[in-house]
Amino acid sequence: MRVARTVVVETPPLPRKFFRVFVELEGMYRNMVEQLVLHAVREGIASFTRLKALKYRELRNLYPQLPSHYAYTACQDASTRAKSFLKLRKKGLVEREYPEVNSVSIWLDDHLWKANDLTSIKVATHKGWIPLEVIPHKQYWKYVNKSWKLASEARIKLDRKSRKLLVYLTFVKEVEEHRPRGFVSVDVNENNVTALIDGTAYLFETDMKDIILGYYYRRKRVQEKYDKVHGIKSRVKRKIFRKLREREKKQDTRWKIANIVVREASKRGYAIVMEKLGRRPGEKMVFRIRDSQLRHRIFQAAFRGMQEAIEEKAREYGVSVVYVNPRNTSRLCPIHGSKIVYGNESRIGKCERGGEMWHRDVVAVWNLLLIALRGDGSIAPSLAGLFVDGSPVPLGSTAAHDPTRVPRALWARRKSLDETMNSYKMIRMNI
């Protein structure tokens, strides 16, 4: 299985005459992509092969001075844009008739660029090959040293203000997938990620709700304020949005948790099981935004983003990921298969048959594990009579019903669960 990571490196400021070549190149490339996207969306073409078959000749005639492979990569670029636009349009999520081609990076394939050595590349243009120096950084060396290989595809983006190019390089690695010896089940919630590892449910507090809603309202305030004064497309607004660094902060949380969870699974030779997100993850949401469609969109994206980060990390470690149907995962008692009754807005419920107390997120991870162990995706799972590797699943003590809470301050600075839990114990002892 191939795992890929993109790394961005910069060039030093280019001499004016070189930079001008890239400005011209970008202009031609953008024009090709714009025309292709328009055509693809009008005709409903999402396939790269079909788009290329239809338009290749035309593109070659349009810019005969360009190396021919730019016609390929422009088709790839355009079909990716068209595909995602058509998908959104199908869901009724777009207002415009055609997608706007705002930001352009020039896609390169193995005919259009070459690596000379680890710190210099060359790019084919309408003015011949242009050599470029790239400035490596820590992350870049990390991939190089850990024997990741450079993929044939790359992208460049112009930074007009400082006359630099941003070079997007892709590193790839082949990893082996192992047959799982067990499962770590992971449930993503509004305010935590809960992972069941060998009978202990760890609840990693994320405060995702506050982060997401906080950003949402801040964005809205900025929007309202600046749209009135500067118009919808103002630069000031965009600059402020960038300052919020919303994406980076969310990504940081995701990577850290994904890292901890995946490493635990990898250490044990386990697979990861998560729920297939449906159309209405309603019962996961405690908080209510009045606009239900918007609420749905915001949180669905956030849940999915967390799952994707885990998937991505898992691929890197050769850990497999299983998705199961989540129906009733937090409603039925994992031991008795009977209903769990939750109080108003409460995360704690009581089993109708056994009378024992359950934390909703703990119930969910146990049930996810059970579904995965049965392997048939059936609902109404029960722990009774269930054996893993010949030994019964440990769920006797009441402690198993309660999650081990891991506050953000603890996991955020550490890489492994052991390290996190050690400092956790130390803090508890000090209290």
Residue ranges binding Zn ion (CB under 5 A): 333, 335-336, 351, 354
Nearer to Zn ion, 271 or 335 (CB): 335
What residues are paired with 353 via a beta bridge? Answer: none
8 A C-beta contact, residue 271 and residue 186: no
8 A C-beta contact, residue 201 and residue 194: yes
Closest CA relative to residue 374, chosen from 242, 201, 185: 185
Write down the residue that tokens 């709700």 correspond to.
Answer: 209
Nearer to Zn ion, 193 or 400 (CB): 400
CB of 338 to Zn ion, least distance (A): 6
Amino acid symbol at 50: R
Nearer to Zn ion, 237 or 359 (CB): 359
Nearer to Zn ion, 157 or 350 (CB): 350
Nearer to Zn ion, 281 or 403 (CB): 403
8 A C-beta contact, residue 237 and residue 222: yes
Closest CA relative to residue 144, chosen from 248, 9, 258: 9
d(CA 167, CA 311): 26
Give me Rg for the CA atoms of the chain: 26
CB of 339 to Zn ion, least distance (A): 9
CB of 330 to Zn ion, least distance (A): 13
CB of 392 to Zn ion, least distance (A): 16
CB of 380 to Zn ion, least distance (A): 13
Nearer to Zn ion, 24 or 356 (CB): 356
Closest-approach residue to Zn ion (CB): 351
CB of 350 to Zn ion, least distance (A): 9
Residue 176 region by backbone torsions, left for phi larger than 0, else alpha for psi between -120 and 50, else beta: beta
Residue 9 per-residue DSSP state? E
Dihedral (Cα; 292, 295, 300, 302), 10-degree rounding: 180
Half-sphere exposure of 275 (CA within 13 A, CB side): 28
CB of 334 to Zn ion, least distance (A): 7
The full length of the chain comes to: 431
Nearer to Zn ion, 398 or 430 (CB): 398
Nearer to Zn ion, 124 or 351 (CB): 351
Residue 415 per-residue DSSP state? S
CB of 354 to Zn ion, least distance (A): 3
H/E stretch holding 268: helix 246-268
Token pair, residue 296, equals 């749905």
8 A C-beta contact, residue 73 and residue 33: no
Measured over all CA atoms, what is the biggest interatomic distance in the chain, rounded to whole angstroms? 79
CB of 356 to Zn ion, least distance (A): 5
Nearer to Zn ion, 25 or 335 (CB): 335
